[in-house]
Amino acid sequence: MTAFSLEPAQLTWCDELRTLAAERLRPLAEKGEPGRVNRALVAELGALGLLPRLFTSGALDLCLMRESLARACTEAETALALQGLGAHPVHAHGTAAQRARWLPGVSDGSAVAAFALSEPDAGSDAAALSLRAESDAGSGAGSPAWRLTGEKCWISNAPEADFYTVFARTTPGAGARGVTAFLVPADRPGLTGTPLDMLSPHPIGALSFDAVPVTADDVLGEPDRGFRVAMGTLNLFRPSVGAFAVGMAQAALDATLAHTAARDAFGGKLCDLQTVSHQVAEMALRTEAARLMVYAAATAYDAGAPDVPRRAAMAKLLATETAQYVVDKAVQLHGARALRRGHLLEHLYREVRAPRVYEGASEVQRGIVAKELYRTYQTQRTHDTTTEEAGA
């Protein structure tokens, strides 16, 4: 039990999730092909009632789900998270028709969603994206219509998703204010994609848009306000990326405790060596600190706190950097066996690197934190000056 005040029911639920992940989800994950969408696994997440919770639970519940699943089966965690990331804009900003068309399939696992923001030259600087949404004056439609032209890259679940939340530039030169979010079904003419062979085993691909038609019926939210859709989604999912990282760190710590307690070395057990036990203590300390920051950020989101961007960035930053540290230390304490293909830590070592990059690299998170700190400082300074002048 952590120091955070989780309710007994929440703790029991986390235990149940880990059991489900180990007994029902991991066997399906092991049958999947690395780098491909595992539709059987996604369908099982729906059958277990976990996918619908993406749209009915708060940020803390999302974090508990992701941490618990990651501790036992990272593939199941990632499949769940990608459904949420791709479909949350539809849930939060879609029309009644859009939600009715796509969300039931996302919830039962029959429709695979994807979040298409990053581009070859616009990853961390999302406001610089260049996928063009050009007005289609010749469409003859009564509502606004556009043609999407350009590329997206590093898109999870591409090119196998059934629909994409796509962010495109509708107003050139307007920065973040000229971006629109569109719901684009995968079968739209002109939309093609290719898989990318990446270090992490989950599906990632590139998308090419060759004058792909979209209309006002495909807009998520309002035209030119799509950056808000993207940032709102990321503010929710960034703490839960941290939860994914905490789950991996905890899995590595669990494995290290078992190994060092059983391993004979230098006339005793490996854990009897002070240098080893102190490293394990440091791993536990950092994992718990990251966990508490993730839970605090998620609780702030659920409470509608004004400092969510800073808290979300801090949580993702600390948790992902911590997980990298803990998994690396676990590999070192296990020795060569941890580098063998198929070992849990070999798997975690490949998995743990990507979260420090996606949904905003660690450097981007530091930038967000600094920006929010100075914004708060200037606001407080202005308030203090005004108060002093009023009292003079």
Give residue-wise pLDDT tens across range 130-151: 899 999 876 655 567 999 999 9
Over residues 349-372, the mean pLDDT reads 92
Inter-CA distances, 324 with 67, 121, 319, 320, 369, Å: 15, 26, 9, 6, 20
171-191, pLDDT tens digit by residue? 988 888 899 999 999 999 999
Residue ranges of the domains in the chain? 8-108, 113-223, 228-384
Q: Which of 162, 197, 148 shows the shortest CA–CA distance to 42?
A: 162
Reading the block at residue 265, the tokens are 């070395």
pLDDT digits (tens, 9 = 90+) for 49-90: 999 999 998 999 999 999 999 999 999 999 999 999 999 999
CB atoms within 10 A of CB 293: 22
Evaluate whether 145 touches 216 at the Cβ level (below 8 Å). Answer: yes
Mean of pLDDT over the chain: 92
pLDDT of residue 392: 64
CATH 3.40.50.970 fits 113-223, yes or no: no
Cβ atoms 333, 279 nearer than 8 A: yes
Amino acid making up residue 240: S
pLDDT score recorded for residue 382: 87
Please report the pLDDT score of residue 124 as a whole number: 63
CATH architecture assigned to 8-108: Orthogonal Bundle (1.10)
Whether residue 283 is predicted with pLDDT greater than 60 in this model: the reply is yes
DSSP 360: S
What average pLDDT does range 279-291 have in this prediction?
97
Distance CA 371, CA 383 (A): 18
Q: What is the H or E stretch that residue 181 is in? A: strand 179-185
- CA dist 87 and 103 (Å) reads 7
Mean pLDDT of the 335-359 span: 93
Q: What is the distance between the alpha carbons of residues 172 and 161, in angstroms, rounded to a whole number?
A: 28
- Please identify every residue annotated as catalytic: 359
What pLDDT score was predicted for residue 175? 81
- In this predicted structure, the answer to whether residue 387 has a pLDDT above a threshold of 80 is no
pLDDT score at 199: 86
The pLDDT assigned to 2 comes to 44
- Calculate the CA 297 to chain-centre distance: 14
One fold for 8-108 and 228-384: no
Report residue 103 as tokens. Answer: 């969300």
Architecture of domain 228-384: Up-down Bundle (1.20)
Look at residue 3 and tell me whether its pLDDT is greater than 50: no
Helical (H) or strand (E) element with 4: none
List pLDDT tens digits, range 229-263: 998 898 888 889 999 999 999 999 999 999 999 99
